[in-house]
Structure 1
């Protein structure tokens, strides 16, 4: 069994699971932001929530595989302390540390979502909004540490995903501002 594990193309799998994790978590973010738009209702809203959940759980699974395979990698092996303690890695401690913090953040967001009915709404929402800085940490971890990050397709992937998330977030914030303005009624100008 050990021989079979050592013979795995671990470096390729580590890279693939890292990219798959990033992309599925990106899809989860897109679905989550889209779910919050007031124009999305009914069956479509339920479908978005379901896919948001599936994407994030799948992304977390890929992230865990990405992390665990670093233990058995023969090219650049990590020990458990390097993986579990932020900024403790011998190689690129900053970028690896950001990945470790992002992993803990992902676990926090997913676990608190599972118990959201036991939390006050404001607390759950504050914890859920950590998804934005967590995603930024994932982007930085992948961009600066990924062995494929200098490839044109990888640069394009990071830039396009960042622009899409930023655009959706700005659009959602604009809708929230408009909704508050409608609730407050017309303002008087001097």
Structure 2
């Protein structure tokens, strides 16, 4: 039985992939909403309370589906992951680099969730500084999905990744457009960074996961990867 056949016959694999995909879509919506309506870019016809409530609900749903994704991956005997790999990055024997990126993204979101619960105790400034980690969790989580996903080459999955990229890029572009003429240099730098994300992701896809033999390369240990020239 091939690896693809074994995974296809495993309901836990379906549950893990579905949970991870939905979590990525929800994280994309959470990040895009936070970017688009942050600062002075908030829509005039929608109250800040309603936006904040929607943002929090999306974040909670993201963590819930991440829990499903992580839990089903751990109890799946095929990959033999421990609970420690959910919080300690790059320690898994199965696709260590790409699973490690997923752990990093989860840790960042977990830090945001914990500090949000302690917001009144730690102060708004400290909470806001940690809250920015959610934006870093999105590209890291996307790389995790693209790099470790055994279904990355499926057209539907590629369209979902494209949707995530376009959504966040459009939200960032809207935010920069509404920011006004102030801090021109900062806006230009941010714009170039935003434009680079889909370009780099597309280049990585074409050179890596969409090429034959990617499953073997993705499964290599970090030590083995360091020895490849």
Tell me which interval the TM-score lies in, with the shorter structure as reference length. 0.7 to 0.9
Partner of 1:85: 88
Q: 1:179 to 1:124 in 2, by over 3 A?
A: farther
Q: Distance in 1 between matches of 2:180 and 2:120?
A: 27
Gaps of 5+ in 2: 1-9, 185-229
Give TM-score scaled by structure 1 length.
0.81
Residue 57 of structure 2, aligned match among 49, 54, 58: 54
> After the TM superposition, which residues 101-180 of structure 1 pair with which residues of structure 2 at under 5 Å, given as runs?
101-178=104-181
Q: Distance in 1 between matches of 2:174 and 2:130?
A: 21
Q: Which moved more, 1:64-73 or 1:54-63?
A: 64-73
Q: Which moved more, 1:105-114 or 1:87-96?
A: 105-114
Partner of 2:36: 34
Partner of 1:184: none
Q: 1:180 to 1:85 in 2, by over 3 A?
A: closer
Give SS of 2:78's match: coil
Q: Distance in 2 between matches of 1:121 and 1:84?
A: 26
Q: Distance in 1 between matches of 2:30 and 2:36?
A: 10
User: Is the Cα–Cα contact under 8 Å of residues 31 and 49 in structure 1 kept in the other structure?
Assistant: no
Q: Distance in 1 between matches of 2:164 and 2:68?
A: 22
Gaps of 5+ in 1: 1-7, 182-190
Q: Distance in 1 between matches of 2:22 and 2:178?
A: 31
> Does residue 64 of structure 2 align to residue 72 of structure 1?
no
Runs of 4+ displaced beyond 6 Å: none
User: Is the Cα–Cα contact under 8 Å of residues 26 and 58 in structure 2 kept in the other structure?
Assistant: yes
User: Is the Cα–Cα contact under 8 Å of residues 102 and 137 in structure 1 kept in the other structure?
Assistant: yes
User: Is the Cα–Cα contact under 8 Å of residues 26 and 62 in structure 2 kept in the other structure?
Assistant: yes
User: Is the Cα–Cα contact under 8 Å of residues 86 and 96 in structure 1 kept in the other structure?
Assistant: yes
Cα RMSD of the aligned pairs, angstroms, is: 2.2
Q: Distance in 1 between matches of 2:32 and 2:96?
A: 30
**How much has 1:59 moved relative to structure 2?**
0.7
Q: 1:122 to 1:42 in 2, by over 3 A?
A: farther
